[in-house]
Amino acid sequence: MFNDTGLVRKIKAQIGQFSGIISQGFSKPLRKFIKQMIYGIQASKDVKLSNISRVLNEQIRLIKTENRLSSNLDSVDFTEQINDQICRLASNKVMDEMVIAIDPGDIRKRFAKHMENLCGIHDGSEHVVGNGYWLCKAVAADIEHRSVIPLYCEAYSQDATDYLSANNQLFKCIDKVSGHIGNKGIWAMDRGGDNRKLFSKLLSDKKRFVIRLQKTRDLVHRGTKKNCYELAKCLPCPFQMTIIKYEEGKEQRIPILFNAVSVKLPDRKENLWLVVVKGFGKDPMMLLTNCTVNLKVKESVWRITEIYITRWKCDESYRYIKQCYNLEDVRVRSYIGIRNIVVLVLAISYFAAVYLGQSTKLKIMVERIYIFSKRFFAVPSFNNYAIADGLYNLLFPDKTGIESNREKENRNKFQLNFDFGFDP
């Protein structure tokens, strides 16, 4: 149906070009290492060095390839540089009204005991305490869910010597992304963002935000300090929307009631809005925002809810990198190696989600990759899974690795000069 060899060659060329961009300023051996890691993780859909070594198909013993990758992975921490390059590449693709979702995540290591700076974490998927590493990730997405752009991802541990605080990690992420996109986008966070210091930073930096509140948050309404939960329960909700939920093949219509009210934070003078949404669960959902809200227009109030719902794309992005690239099965002992693996997976997700679709020619190539993803039905709006599967199905069977034929010939070439000056 298609010339698979030609398509594979084009994908490898794009990987080489992309890795060259994000590894600017590094030494030549490190640039080659980053290219091989990006190819190897994508071609094997795994972060284990043994599987990466196998798909590289080098003409040396497998253990030698793995030892070299391990040595390079632990040599220098390039998290900052690659995060900076990804933000730079994505800066012109983030529009003013896009949602920038930021959320702490985790890598849980159930059986690890000797990994460096292994710390206690809360497993968000199983809601239990375990050992592992924290993640701080940011993605940009439009409300229509047509585009998801990875921006930033960093692994960290509270047991590391350079760790300051969880707030510092959030501020670091915000400053890094803002350094490239300015004040574009609307920052959205879950209840973990209900933080007095975070509110102060976002308001002082003139950032627009939508943050879900915890029940304990106090607000000022009409000059009186009130608990947000008590205020939400008493607030009448005249506006209504209906959402459709599919469960066990059955369609269920759920009425959603919502309204908004003008409030302030107790220690701030800025006018804010509390958006109350009833129907998603037993308790009302409370969203605090500084985005302009017309209290008389239904669509204006509902837009804040849509912004927060778009934040769930960050959770879906976490699920994607963990499932597609087996991130929680990372098996390196050094803390630097853990951080480098995480930022490389961010780079791969950007390559698959954004870089391949940035030009017309590459979009055509992406359409062909979709075919190799072997989906029964149409590709969904969050198409990263399909692209990752298509790239895997194309690259994994290939036995030539990422090096070009010319590089292999030059490496294996051995010339002897028998010209001793004798005239026959």
Give, to the nearest 10 degrees, the angle between helix 62-75 and helix 28-44.
Answer: 120
| Cα–Cα dist 379/385, whole Å | 9
3 state SS for 86-100: HHHHHHHHCCCCCEE
Delimit the domains of the chain by residue range: 4-80+334-409, 208-213+225-297
Model pTM score? 0.85
Per-residue pLDDT of the chain (424 residues; tens, 9 = 90+): 445 778 888 889 999 999 999 999 999 999 999 999 999 999 998 999 999 999 998 988 999 999 999 999 999 999 999 999 999 999 999 999 999 999 888 888 888 888 999 999 987 667 788 899 999 999 998 887 667 899 999 999 999 999 999 999 999 999 999 999 999 999 999 998 999 999 999 999 999 999 999 999 999 999 999 999 999 999 999 999 888 776 666 777 888 999 999 999 998 999 999 999 998 888 999 999 999 999 999 999 999 999 998 887 767 777 777 878 888 888 887 999 999 999 999 999 899 888 886 554 555 455 555 454 444 444 444 466 677 777 777 787 887 888 754 454 454 444 444 444 444 3
Instruction: Tell me the two tokens of residue 154.
Output: 């960093």
- Coil, strand, or helix at residue 330? coil
Helix axes 312-325, 384-395, angle to 10 degrees: 20
Q: What is the DSSP letter of 378?
A: -
Number of residues that this document lists for the chain: 424
Q: Provide the 10 A C-beta neighbour count for residue 96.
A: 11
Per DSSP, the residues of 115-173 read STT-EEEEETTTTEEEEEEEEEEEEEE-TTSS-EEEEEEEEE-TTSTT---HHHHHHHH
Three-state secondary-structure class, residue 24: coil
Strand, coil or helix: 239: strand
